[in-house]
Amino acid sequence: MNKKVVYGIVAVILIILVGFGIYRQVNTGQANEVVKIGAILPLTGGTATVPANDARNGMLLAIEYINENGGLNGKKVELVVQDSKNDNKTGLDAYKYIATTGTIRYFITQISGVTMAIKNESNLKKQYLISMIGAIHFKDDCETCIRNYIEPDKIGKEITVIIADTLKLKTFAVIYPETEYGKSIFSSVEQESKLKGATISSNVSYDEKTIDFKNIVSKLLSNRSFEGVYITGLGKNIGQLIKAFKESGYKGQIVCDHSSSMSDVKQIAGNLMKGIYYFSFPDINEDFNRVFKNRFGYEPSFYSGLAYNSIKFILKNEKSDLKLPLMYDTLNIAGQEFLYNFKIKRY
């Protein structure tokens, strides 16, 4: 065979082989691409460790399904979790650390103070901040701040409906934590109660790290000028306050919100919660409860559902065709707000 023909054939084969190698490298690179989602949660420190773990597991449940079914637009999803320890500075440091691990477009957070500490930097970088918080000013001047929780105004309205319409109380006391969240809720309840003709005759704010709840309750009851009391906060402190009121012999009405439904609150207060009115997020449906419990060994809370919906939002925002199979309420978003259906209940 003519040498030129042989050389030509060899050259063509080499070109094909090189091209195939490049094709494989490109495809392998695409397959190995990872979409990282940052999560900053109070896994230790403070009173919110139970909600934090419930939220983390809700996200993991969604992400595991995504990865088992082709990924997010063909890319594997990785959850990068850091512990804020319920501290604003630690939370900001956690955000900065996660940002060094790659290109992060989405951050999911809990705790109002931590989130507000992160907000300015994430907003400058046009990163989505999907947050399970109730701080009043969270969405101000931030197009990429998404609230996956209840607007403080909504909490104020629901609580005032229970106090003024359901219980017909004219005066009540409010006990709330000295946090961004607590101050937002108090302000909202104060405004809404005026519209209903109810008066906050006493109010006490508390340090979330306190252990002297009996003294707080004793001081409040020593100058009792109220028909009922609204207790708010996050985590086991609510249980401790309910227990302190009941053990003091208090016979008046106690009103709580959605946070009272957490397992650590019920573990502390137990049967002492009987008769207390509260409003709640939607119940976890049977399918969600079964799949979550099979995976993690315990029943999910509403925080698990909220966190699961955070991942649903990311899928939708990235225009993915993949649909998560489980549903927690209806994923309905108006502007920068997740919308949920609430119910007034009684223990």
8-12, 150-154, 196-200, 212-216, range with greatest mean pLDDT = 196-200
**18: pLDDT strictly greater than 60:** no
Torsion of CA 102, 106, 110, 111, to 10 degrees: 80
pLDDT digits (tens, 9 = 90+) for 285-328: 899 999 999 999 999 999 999 999 999 999 999 999 999 988 88
Structure tokens at 264: 């650590």
What's the distance, CA 194 to chain centroid? Answer: 29
pLDDT digits (tens, 9 = 90+) for 29-74: 444 689 999 999 999 987 778 899 999 999 999 999 999 999 999 9
The arithmetic mean of pLDDT across residues 148-175, rounded, is 93
What's the start-to-end Cα distance of the chain, in Å?
Answer: 93
Q: Whose CA is closest to 263, among 50, 43, 46, 47?
A: 50
SS3 string, 38-59, reads: EEEECCCCCCCHHHHHHHHHHH
Looking at residue 210, its pLDDT comes to 74
Please give the sequence-ordered ranges of beta strands (E in DSSP) within 84-155, or none if there are none: 104-110, 128-132, 145-147
Q: Evaluate whether the domain defined by 34-150+283-341 bears CATH number 3.40.50.2300.
A: yes
Least-confidence region, from 28-32, 122-126, 130-134, 211-215: 28-32
Fold of 152-280: Rossmann fold (3.40.50)
155 contact partners, CB below 8 Å, separation of at least 6: 134, 185, 188, 189, 257
216 or 98, greater pLDDT:
98
The arithmetic mean of pLDDT across residues 170-187, rounded, is 93
Structure tokens at 164: 């003024």
53 contact partners, CB below 8 Å, separation of at least 6: 41, 43
How far is it, in rounded angstroms, from Cα 278 to Cα 312? 28
